[in-house]
Structure 1
Amino acid sequence: MFDAVVYIGHGSRREEGNTQFKRFIESVMADIDNPNQEIAFLELTKPTISETLEKLIAQGAKRFLIVPVLLFSALHHKLDIPEELGFIQRRYPFVSFKMTEPFGTHPYMVDLVIKRIKAEKNEQNTAILLVGRGSSHLGPIQGLQQIGRKVEHKLGIPVYAAFLKLGKPSMEEAMAFLPYRYKKVYVMPYLLFTGLLLEKIKQTVFYSKDTFDICQNLEFDELMKKTLIKRMEEARDGEAVSGNDEPERQEGSDYRRRKNSSA
């Protein structure tokens, strides 16, 4: 159905973050039955979206699956990437694009948060603090809060959401009142890769009271890989939707390589 697949990452000033992203996408590519798969970045590093698309068009690709590797749908997903695609389509009217949804609140992402928490949690009278980047759009704010509610329901312990930039409460505000309520608070950075924001969380936790411990960030886990492939299957089958992810999509669609179908 698609001549090529393009995975779009945000891009990082830290090469370590870009390397983590590339390694993750390479693991996804190995499970996708398409010979033309490439990586592009929104900013801070190359290749750009336009560079990658023009390279593939020159090789004969016309029908593209665009896979934004983003946590939630906000400015990049709603505006920046569509603008780039529109620019290319005006130059090459014969090409077409279909874009997947971000990770969102897929149940696998909830499972990943629980996995990270269980790896660290070993005390009673505890709470969880999910820390996200934040956004001027309500979607990412509400998305992280929804994930928090689902984790709270599954673990049976209080889960709070806080934000580093735009969104309330801020991480600092949450860390100011939580020690009065709980003996231990586990901070879970809801971030994809190593970068300045993750370092900020780590430093804040390090210099805080003994109440706080930090969990590993998302860091491109196998559960994220499963989520991304599900999003690709949804787009291929015409099921890509915005918003909540319940009920879950049926497991019948299979975008993996046949040789890995039992994995």
Structure 2
Amino acid sequence: MFDAVVYIGHGSRREEGNTQFKRFIASVMEEVDVPNQEIAFLELTNPTIAETLEKLITQGAKRFLIVPVLLFSALHHKLDIPEEIAAVQKEYPFISFKMTAPFGTYPYMVDLAVKRIQAENHEPDTAILLVGRGSSHIEPIQGLQQIGRKIEQRLDIPVYTAFLKLGKPSMEEALAFLPYRYKKVYVMPYLLFTGLLLEKIEQMVFSSKDTFAICQNLEFDPLMKKTLIKRMEEARDGEDVSGHKEPEQRKGSDYPRWGNSSA
């Protein structure tokens, strides 16, 4: 069905964050049986989406699977990426694209957040604070809240959500009221990679370290790899994973070999 895959990361001013992304995508590429696979970034670093698409087009690619490596669907997923793709398609009208859903509230993402929290949470009378970037779109706000509710059900621990930029409550507001309710609060940065936002969370937690402790952020875990491959399967097959037979696993791998065999 597809003869090229383009994985799109946000991009970071910190090279460490870009390196984490590239390392993660390299591990995904090993499980995807498509001849041409490349990365691109939305901003702050290269290659751009247009540069990567044009490179693949000159190599003969015509049918593209676009994989935005994003937590939730907001401005980048709804507008920025489609606009850039449309500009390329206007110049090369013979090519076609299909785009995957973001990580969203897929069950593996809940598993990953639980994993990060359980690695740190060892005290009674505690609560969890999930901190996301925030957005002017409702989906990322509701998505993080939904993940928080599922974590609360799994761990039987109070879970709150807060946001660094757009969204209520802000992290500052949450840090102000939670100490009156709990002896200890574990802050879980719901962020993909290291960068300025993670540093901001760490600084705010450090200044109140008697009450707050910080969990590791998502950090491109293998559970994210499984989620991304599932999202790619959904785009390939045009149906929910819940009704999809698991593809044959490659020998020696924990992940299904993703390819075009059923196309």
Distance 1:199 1:226 in 2: 27
Write the distance in 2 (CA, Å) between the matches of 1:205 and 1:145. 21
Structure 1 alignment gaps of length 5 or more: 241-247
Partner residue in 2 for 1:41: 41
Give secondary structure in 2 for the equivalent of 1:249.
helix
Between the aligned partners of 2:253 and 2:93, the Cα distance in structure 1 is 36
Match runs of 1:9-48 below 5 Å: 9-48=9-48
Q: Distance in 1 between matches of 2:71 and 2:35?
A: 26
Number of the residue aligned with 2:259:
none
Cα offset, 1:250, TM superposition: 3.6
Matched, 1:73 2:66: no
Distance 1:227 1:249 in 2: 13
Counterpart of 1:156 in structure 2 is 156
1:249, distance to aligned residue in structure 2 (A)? 2.2
- TM-score normalised by length of structure 2: 0.94
1:184 aligns to what?
A: 184
Aligned length: 255
Residues 196-228 of structure 1 show CA distances to partners (whole Å, capped at 9, x for unaligned) of 000000000001151100000000000000000
Q: Does 2:242 align with 1:252?
A: no
Residues of 1 paired with 2:229 and 2:95: CA distance? 23
Distance in 1 separating the partners of 2:239 and 2:41? 25
Counterparts of 1:1-263 in structure 2, within 5 Å, are 1-239=1-239, 249-250=242-243, 252-254=245-247, 258-259=250-251, 263=255
In the other structure, the counterpart of 1:244 is none
Aligned CA distance change for structure 1 residues 179 and 262 (closer, same or farther; 3 Å): closer
Pairwise CA distance, 1:34: 1.1
Deviations 1:133-163 (A, max 9, x none): 0000000000000000000001001000000
- What is the identity percentage for the equivalent residue pairs of Structure 1 and Structure 2? 80
What one-letter code is carried by the residue in structure 1 that aligns with 2:106? Answer: H
What is the deviation of 1:184?
Answer: 0.5
| RMSD of aligned residue pairs (Cα, Å) | 1.4
Please report how far the alpha carbon of residue 126 of structure 1 lies from its aligned counterpart in structure 2 after TM superposition.
0.5
Q: In the aligned structure 2, how far is the partner of 1:50 from the partner of 1:257?
A: 34
Contact 1:32 1:257 in 2 (8 A): no
Helix, strand or coil for the counterpart of 1:124? coil
Aligned-partner Cα distance in 2 for 1:251–1:154: 26
Q: What 5-or-longer segments of structure 2 have no aligned partner?
A: 256-263
- Tell me the distance in 2 between the aligned counterparts of 1:209 and 1:262: 38
TM-score by length of 1: 0.94
Cross-structure match for 2:261: none
Match of 1:243 in 2: none
SS at match of 1:218: coil
Aligned pair in 2 of structure 1 residues 211, 102: CA closer, same or farther (>3 Å)? same
Distance 2:88 2:209 in 1: 52
The structure 1 segments of at least 4 consecutive aligned residues displaced by more than 2 Å after TM superposition are: 248-251, 256-263
| Residues 68/12 of structure 1: CA separation in 2 closer, same or farther (3 Å cut) | same
Shift of 1:262: 5.4
* Residue type of the alignment partner of 2:222: E
